[in-house]
Amino acid sequence: MNSPRFEVRGFNHVALVCSDMERTVDFYRRILGFELVKTVELPDGMGQHFFFDVGNGNSLAFFWFAAAPDGVPGISAPEEKPGFGEWISAVSSLNHVAFDVPPEKFGGYRKALKEAGVRVGPIVNHDDSPSQVATEMHDGVYVRSFYFQDPDGILLEFACWLREFTADDVAHAPRTAAERTTPVVI
């Protein structure tokens, strides 16, 4: 393995935009249990920027902009969770944030979210089959996950790695912009 050009230790933070900071703080603190570690009032009444500790030195941050336009489901973010509907989003959008969780706590976390009233998607056993989803566990499942959304519809995922990757896991040539199909605009 080549040594990295830059010594990146993970994410410092991922910054998203919310419509209601109070509701966002309630969800991420009360439902997900993330500690609110920093709050900032932006200059000139522009808005706020809040940071949650998500473990391992990583943060999830939110901007609340007083003049932010509403998101457009299916363009700026997925319309739904995989398994419930359309989850494609536009180029340069953030499709989802996946949180790494311990495999032994995966089922309990899903149950806890459901008990808290969060609508969660089905468990997805990601594998290398043509459908990329296994209905049952087997040695080829490399990650298990389920998806849910925050109050603004931001797609979130709890995922747990089940095996280490090898050189055989990098087997596809990157696709190009010229290979994209033109979406139908209604």
Q: Is the pLDDT of residue 98 over 70?
A: yes
- 99 within 8 A of 160, measured Cβ to Cβ: no
Which domains are delineated in the chain?
8-67 (3.10.180.10), 81-164 (3.10.180.10)
Based on the number of CB atoms within 10 Å of its own CB, is 100 exposed (0-12), middle (13-18) or buried (19 or more)? middle
Of the candidates 158, 51, 160, which has an alpha carbon nearest to the alpha carbon of residue 112?
A: 158
Q: Give the ranges where 15-65 is alpha helix by DSSP (H).
A: 21-26
- Under DSSP, is residue 63 helix (H, G, I), strand (E, B) or coil? strand
Query: For 14-60, how does the pLDDT look when each residue is reduced to its tens digit (9 = 90+)?
Result: 999 999 999 999 999 999 999 999 999 999 999 999 999 999 989 99
How far is 76 from 154, CA to CA, in rounded Å? Answer: 10
Of the candidates 60, 66, 91, 61, which has an alpha carbon nearest to the alpha carbon of residue 77?
A: 91
State residue 150's pLDDT score: 94
State residue 26's pLDDT score: 96
State residue 63's pLDDT score: 92
Beta strand residue intervals within 9-154, DSSP E: 13-17, 35-41, 47-55, 58-65, 97-100, 124-126, 133-134, 143-149
- 79 within 8 A of 62, measured Cβ to Cβ: no
Q: Is the pLDDT of residue 184 over 80?
A: no
**Comparing 29-38, 111-120, 159-168, 174-183, which segment has the lowest mean pLDDT?**
174-183
Query: For 101-140, how does the pLDDT look when each residue is reduced to its tens digit (9 = 90+)?
Result: 999 999 999 999 999 999 999 999 988 888 788 888 888 8
Mean of per-residue pLDDT scores for the chain: 87
Q: By percentage, how much of the chain surpasses pLDDT 90?
A: 51
Sheet holding 155-161, edge to edge: 97-100, 155-161, 143-149, 124-126, 133-134
